[in-house]
Structure 1
Amino acid sequence: MEAFQLSNHFHFPWPVNHTSLSPDGKLLVVVGDNPDGMLVNAQTGKALAAKQQEWRSAMSTEFNALIQAGTWQLVPYSPSMNVLPNKWVFRIKRKPDGSVERYKARLVAKCFRQQEGVDYGETFSPVIKHSSIRLILAIAVSFGWTIRQLDVQNAFLHGYLSEDVYMQQPQGFIDPQFPTHVCKLQRSLYGLKQAPRAWFSCFSTYLEDLGFTASQVDTSLFVYHSGNIKLYLLIYVDDILVTGTHADHITTLITNLSKLFSMKDLGPLHYFLGIEAVRSSHGLALTQTKYTLDLLHRTNMTDAKPVSTPAATGKRLSLTDGTPLHDGSQYRSVVGALQYLTLTRPDISFAVNQVCQFLHSPTNVHWVAVKRILRYLKHTPTYGLFYTPSNFKLTGYSDSDYAGDPDTRISTGGTCIYLGTNLISWSSKKQSGVSRSSTEAEYRQLAYTAAHVSWFRTLFRDLCIPLQSPTLWCDNISAISLASNPVFHTRTRHVEVDYHYIREKVVRKEIQVAYVCSQDQLADIFTKGLSSYRFHYLLPKLPVRARPISLRGGGGGG
Structure 2
Amino acid sequence: MLTRLKTGTRKPNPRYALISFSQDLDREPHNFREANQSHSWRSAMNVEFQALQKASTWDLVPPSQATHILPCKWVYRIKRKSDGSLERFKARLVANGFLQKEGINYTETFCPVVKHVTIRIVLSLVVSQDWPIRQLDVQNAFLHGHLTEEVYMRQPKGFEDPSRPHHVCRLRKSLYGLKQAPRAWFHQFSEFLLQHGFVGSQADHSLFIYNSHGVYILLLIYVDDILITGNQSNKVQSLITSLSKAFAMKDLGPLSYFLGIEVTRMPTGLHLSQNKYTCDLLIRAHLQDSKPCATPVASGSQLSVMDGIPLSDPHEYRSVVGALQYLTVTRPDITYAVNQVCQHMHQPTTVHWIAVKRILRYLKGSSTDGLFFAQGNTTLVAYSDSDYAGNPDTRRSTGGFCMFLGPNLVSWSSKKQRTVARSSTESEYRQMAITATEIVWVQQLLLELSVSQHSPPVLWCDNISSIALASNPVFHSRTKHVAIDYHYVRELVIARALNVRYVSTTHQLADIFTKGLSFARFTFLKSKLIRSPLLSLREDDRRHNNSLRDTTDTTS
TM-score, length-scaled by structure 1: 0.90
Counterpart Cα distance in 2 of 1:31 and 1:368: 35
Q: 1:277-296 residue pairs with structure 2 within 5 A?
A: 277-296=263-282
Of 107, 111, 126, the residue aligned with 1:125 is 111
Q: Which residue type is aligned with residue 487 of structure 1?
A: V
Counterpart Cα distance in 2 of 1:467 and 1:241: 25
By how many angstroms is 1:305 displaced?
A: 1.7
> Residues 27, 231 of structure 1: CA spacing in aligned structure 2 closer, same or farther, 3 A cutoff?
farther
Of 387, 396, 400, the residue aligned with 2:373 is 387
Of 91, 112, 118, the residue aligned with 2:98 is 112
> Residues 379, 224 of structure 1: CA spacing in aligned structure 2 closer, same or farther, 3 A cutoff?
same
Of 327, 346, 357, the residue aligned with 1:360 is 346
1:519 matched to 2:506? The reply is: yes
Q: 1:240-255 residue pairs with structure 2 within 5 A?
A: 240-255=226-241
By how many angstroms is 1:371 displaced?
A: 1.0
Q: Which residue does the alignment assign to 1:338?
A: 324
Q: Which residue does the alignment assign to 2:464?
A: 477
1:488 matched to 2:479? The reply is: no
Q: Which residue type is aligned with residue 36 of structure 2?
A: A
Q: Which residue type is aligned with residue 396 of structure 2?
A: I
Q: Which residue type is aligned with residue 184 of structure 1?
A: R
By how many angstroms is 1:320 displaced?
A: 1.1
Deviations along 1:413-467, one digit per CA (max 9) or x if unpaired, are: 0100000110001000111111111111110000100000100000011112212
1:424 matched to 2:395? The reply is: no
By how many angstroms is 1:532 displaced?
A: 0.4
SS at match of 1:125: coil
Q: Which residue type is aligned with residue 360 of structure 1?
A: H
1:235 matched to 2:214? The reply is: no
Q: Which residue does the alignment assign to 2:199?
A: 213
Q: Which residue does the alignment assign to 2:337?
A: 351
Counterpart Cα distance in 1 of 2:158 and 2:316: 36
Q: Which residue does the alignment assign to 2:452?
A: 466
Contact 1:285 / 1:547 at 8 angstroms: preserved in 2?
Answer: no
Contact 2:271 / 2:533 at 8 angstroms: preserved in 1?
Answer: no
Which moved further from structure 2: 476-485 or 390-399?
Answer: 476-485
Counterpart Cα distance in 2 of 1:197 and 1:486: 47
Deviations along 1:133-158, one digit per CA (max 9) or x if unpaired, are: 11111110111111100000000000
Counterpart Cα distance in 1 of 2:354 and 2:201: 43
Counterpart Cα distance in 2 of 1:151 and 1:504: 44
Deviations along 1:241-275, one digit per CA (max 9) or x if unpaired, are: 11111111111111111111000000011111111
1:137 matched to 2:123? The reply is: yes
> Residues 138, 123 of structure 1: CA spacing in aligned structure 2 closer, same or farther, 3 A cutoff?
same
Contact 1:383 / 1:547 at 8 angstroms: preserved in 2?
Answer: no
Of 301, 311, 325, the residue aligned with 2:311 is 325
1:179 matched to 2:165? The reply is: yes
Of 419, 426, 439, the residue aligned with 2:425 is 439
Q: Which residue type is aligned with residue 263 of structure 1?
A: M
By how many angstroms is 1:547 displaced?
A: 4.7
Q: What root-mean-square deviation, in Å, do the aligned CA atoms of Structure 1 and Structure 2 show?
A: 1.6
1:271 matched to 2:257? The reply is: yes
By how many angstroms is 1:363 displaced?
A: 1.3
Q: Which residue type is aligned with residue 464 of structure 2?
A: I
Q: Which residue does the alignment assign to 1:543?
A: 530
Counterpart Cα distance in 2 of 1:510 and 1:243: 30
By how many angstroms is 1:546 displaced?
A: 4.4
Of 35, 49, 52, the residue aligned with 1:63 is 49
Q: Which residue does the alignment assign to 2:61?
A: 75
Q: Which residue does the alignment assign to 1:316?
A: 302
Q: Which residue does the alignment assign to 2:442?
A: 456
By how many angstroms is 1:499 displaced?
A: 4.6
1:507 matched to 2:494? The reply is: yes
Contact 2:429 / 2:485 at 8 angstroms: preserved in 1?
Answer: no
By how many angstroms is 1:61 displaced?
A: 1.3
Q: Which residue does the alignment assign to 2:29?
A: 29
Q: Which residue does the alignment assign to 1:197?
A: 183
By how many angstroms is 1:28 displaced?
A: 3.3
Q: Which residue does the alignment assign to 2:15?
A: none
Gaps of 5+ in 1: 1-20, 33-45, 552-558
Counterpart Cα distance in 2 of 1:72 and 1:499: 57
By how many angstroms is 1:221 displaced?
A: 0.7
Structure with more helix by fraction: 2
By how many angstroms is 1:118 displaced?
A: 0.5
Contact 1:83 / 1:165 at 8 angstroms: preserved in 2?
Answer: yes
1:497 matched to 2:480? The reply is: no
Contact 2:378 / 2:451 at 8 angstroms: preserved in 1?
Answer: no
Contact 2:307 / 2:351 at 8 angstroms: preserved in 1?
Answer: yes
By how many angstroms is 1:297 displaced?
A: 1.5
Q: Which residue does the alignment assign to 2:89?
A: 103
> Residues 538, 550 of structure 1: CA spacing in aligned structure 2 closer, same or farther, 3 A cutoff?
closer
Contact 2:470 / 2:486 at 8 angstroms: preserved in 1?
Answer: no
> Residues 246, 26 of structure 1: CA spacing in aligned structure 2 closer, same or farther, 3 A cutoff?
farther
SS at match of 2:29: strand
By how many angstroms is 1:548 displaced?
A: 5.1
1:415 matched to 2:390? The reply is: no
Q: Which residue type is aligned with residue 530 of structure 2?
A: P
SS at match of 2:276: helix
Q: Which residue does the alignment assign to 1:6?
A: none
SS at match of 2:532: strand
Contact 1:347 / 1:544 at 8 angstroms: preserved in 2?
Answer: no
SS at match of 1:494: helix
By how many angstroms is 1:112 displaced?
A: 2.5
Q: Which residue type is aligned with residue 124 of structure 1?
A: F
By how many angstroms is 1:177 displaced?
A: 2.2
Runs of 4+ in 1 over 6 A off after TM superposition: none
Contact 1:28 / 1:89 at 8 angstroms: preserved in 2?
Answer: no
SS at match of 1:29: coil
Gaps of 5+ in 2: 1-22, 539-556
Contact 2:397 / 2:417 at 8 angstroms: preserved in 1?
Answer: yes
By how many angstroms is 1:293 displaced?
A: 1.0
SS at match of 2:481: coil
Counterpart Cα distance in 2 of 1:330 and 1:419: 38
Counterpart Cα distance in 2 of 1:131 and 1:57: 39
Counterpart Cα distance in 2 of 1:148 and 1:484: 46
Contact 2:262 / 2:273 at 8 angstroms: preserved in 1?
Answer: yes
1:92 matched to 2:78? The reply is: yes
Q: Which residue type is aligned with residue 28 of structure 2?
A: L
By how many angstroms is 1:31 displaced?
A: 3.9
By how many angstroms is 1:341 displaced?
A: 0.6
